[in-house]
Copies of this chain bind each other. A is one copy, B any other.
């Protein structure tokens, strides 16, 4: 469906605001009644028949429910704020495919970021200097290759991933485990602002005023992996929440990548566990691109053509260009251009910086 009527959008927000009604029950109601508006006006007996708690059915017409929906609508009036509802065209296609998709997502920032191919990059909050550096480097290269880097805005690896993508001039998406009005951790407020200024987006399925609660973070992880073609775990102890994200990615049929480390480095143990469970061991971004070739329906890597024959290198002879410009000029699809640019980068023929590609030598 292209989009919802304003009335149905408001009804979805009311459903979302009801007590005891989570993602699964919202989807149950939408399936049973066909729309949120129909669910809200259905007799209480129909809700009982679906084994839904009376407290939820009773709260449908409470002033509090109305007010919560009204507050969300007011929040949405500011620029660059969006409500993405499951079943509409704007809802991220990959996320809609998972077993337990959020019925709605609040988004602050640029929807274009959610339309790019996304790769999740996650890891421990307590990371080593080397782990943080690896996260920044991989995020930088993935962003330069045209991926939107998705993570959780947490301290440690998540933050370094967002930063690395920003450093490459790429868009990055942060999926929060709080409402968008309670950004957490506060120490990453500046990072969130830079993310928004860099064309990225903040995403949450939680009520806007939802404060940090431990139980919400693991469920948030299914959105990080669900938005993404694959999840890369950079450094993680066996107890890290990023292992949950990786296992959810595997359950969702997405690729799981993990960076190895020394057997004497405790921060590598979670990654090693994932590799033993079937995750792909990754040493370079090239490994990730190779694995995603199938997803992007791209031909296998071939040696770059001689400079004079390579259309991208020909276009870059006139000066730096970004990948969209190259796609337009060359008439090639963007994903193919991105992979080809990465191959040229690995061959030392081009360099990426702040979202533009420069021809070398």
Tell me which of A98-106, A256-264, A308-316, A340-348 binds B. A256-264
B263 to A134, Cβ gap below 8 A?
yes
Residue interface bits A260-274, CB-to-B below 8 A is 1, else 0? 111111001100100
Q: Interface size (A, Cβ < 8 Å)?
A: 19
B283 to A272, Cβ gap below 8 A?
yes
Give complex CA distance A262, B283 in Å: 9
A266-308 with Cβ < 8 A to chain B: 268-269, 272, 275-276, 280-281, 283-284, 287
Q: Say how far A275's CB is from chain B's closest CB, in angstroms.
A: 5
A44-90 with Cβ < 8 A to chain B: none
Instruction: Choose among B259, B275, B284 the residue that contacts A281 (Cβ–Cβ < 8 A).
Output: B275
User: How many identical subunits does the complex contain?
Assistant: 2
Instruction: Choose among B130, B272, B280, B284 the residue that contacts A260 (Cβ–Cβ < 8 A).
Output: B272
B260 to A275, Cβ gap below 8 A?
yes
Give complex CA distance A269, B284 in Å: 11
Identify the closest chain B residue to A279 (Cβ).
B281
- Residues of A in contact with B (beta carbons under 8 Å apart): 130, 134, 259-265, 268-269, 272, 275-276, 280-281, 283-284, 287
Can you pick out 28 interface pairs between chain A and chain B where the beta carbons lie within 8 Å of each other?
A: A130-B262, A130-B264, A134-B263, A259-B263, A260-B260, A260-B261, A260-B262, A260-B263, A260-B268, A260-B272, A260-B275, A260-B281, A261-B261, A261-B262, A261-B263, A262-B262, A262-B265, A263-B283, A263-B284, A269-B283, A272-B281, A272-B283, A275-B275, A275-B281, A276-B280, A276-B281, A276-B287, A281-B281
- A260-B261, A263-B283 are known; give 8 further A-B pairs, CB within 8 A: A134-B263, A260-B263, A262-B262, A262-B265, A263-B284, A272-B283, A276-B281, A281-B281
Please, which residues of chain B bring their CB within 8 A of the CB of A280?
A: 276
Give the top 4 A-B pairs by smallest Cβ distance, nearest first.
Answer: A260-B260, A263-B283, A275-B281, A276-B281
Give complex CA distance A268, B262 in Å: 9
Identify the closest chain B residue to A282 (Cβ).
B263
Give complex CA distance A337, B173 in Å: 54
Q: Say how far A259's CB is from chain B's closest CB, in angstroms.
A: 6
